[in-house]
Amino acid sequence: MPNHPHRDPELRHRSIYLLPNAFTTAALFAGFYAVVHAMNNRFEMAAIAIFVAMVLDGMDGRVARLTNTTSAFGEQYDSLSDMTSFGVAPALVVYEWMLKDLGRWGMLAAFIYVCGAALRLARFNTNIAVVDKRFFQGLPSPAAAALVAGFVWLVVDNRLQVPHELLAWTTFFITIYAGIAMVTNLPFYSGKSFALGRSVPFWVILVFVAGFIFISSNPPVVLFGLFIVYGLSGWGVWLWRKRRARQLSARG
């Protein structure tokens, strides 16, 4: 068989596209894994799987940009994976865990969350070229999933002794908030301005190491606390912008 050396660069170039899509597939599997474990009443593993999906989802886009392998297919595949891992999976996990005890109200909360995730992703796909890349428009779906799954992980891991009815309604309001926050116009910091390939001072590395140590001390408590802060940060940015706009208009 004759050799075709001129085809090698093209084949190598195409093979690189497998890398970001492999991360997306792994994130999709983690979401599926969470649903399976929720059906088997292993809610701690289900919540952890959603956090794993969030880490993998954060890596696929950065890997694609670093390797210059972004594509329309990858963007659509990533969006569908996000809908499964951060839309359907968290809703099913939290419904099986607690919301089903509220009957129709629990089903309503889970559906509002799923609908919010779908609308959030659709709006993100259509506005990706016109919004400020420093901020997300509305709470990003991975952060919303972290709020919901983080609360499940927090309660199950620490075996919190809370009256069942109070716990169910707290879960209800957290799920509703996460679903609605995704479709608001609140600005949430995206972190996209942070470039992995850019050199950073030594103290930044120390901060990252300290952060990992801090999270590993008690992952359910720390992660849920961090995402509570992030989930409310959009209101802070919105109020700060509104106040600044008033000050500028007063000066003018």
Q: Residue 7 falls within a domain, yes or no? A: no
Residue pLDDT, tens place only, 26-82: 999 999 999 999 999 999 999 999 999 999 998 887 777 777 777 788 888 899 999
Span 171-195, mean pLDDT?
Answer: 88
Residue pLDDT, tens place only, 110-149: 999 999 999 999 988 887 666 667 888 899 999 999 999 9
pLDDT at 205 > cutoff 80: yes
Q: Residue 12 falls within a domain, yes or no? A: no
Place of tokens 């983690």: 30
Return the DSSP state at 242: H
Of 67-76, 80-89, 218-227, minimum mean pLDDT range: 67-76
Q: Residue 4 falls within a domain, yes or no? A: no
Q: Who contacts 64 (Cβ-Cβ below 8 Å, separation ≥6)?
A: 19, 20, 70, 71, 74
Mean pLDDT, rounded, of the chain? 86
Residue 195: its pLDDT value, please?
Answer: 57
Counted domains in the chain: 1
Q: Who contacts 58 (Cβ-Cβ below 8 Å, separation ≥6)?
A: 142
The CATH number of the domain holding residue 101 is 1.20.120.1760
Q: Residue 201 falls within a domain, yes or no? A: yes
pLDDT at 191 > cutoff 50: yes
**Confidence bin at 20 (pLDDT 50/70/90):** confident
pTM: 0.86
CB 156 within 8 A of CB 109: no
Q: Residue 224 falls within a domain, yes or no? A: yes
Backbone angles phi and psi of 137, in degrees to 5: -90, 100
pLDDT at 12 > cutoff 80: no
Look up the domain containing 199 and give its range. 18-251
Q: Residue 212 falls within a domain, yes or no? A: yes
Report how far residue 7's alpha carbon sits from residue 21's, in angstroms, rounded to the nearest whole number: 22
Q: Residue 2 falls within a domain, yes or no? A: no
pLDDT at 207 > cutoff 90: no
Q: Residue 82 falls within a domain, yes or no? A: yes
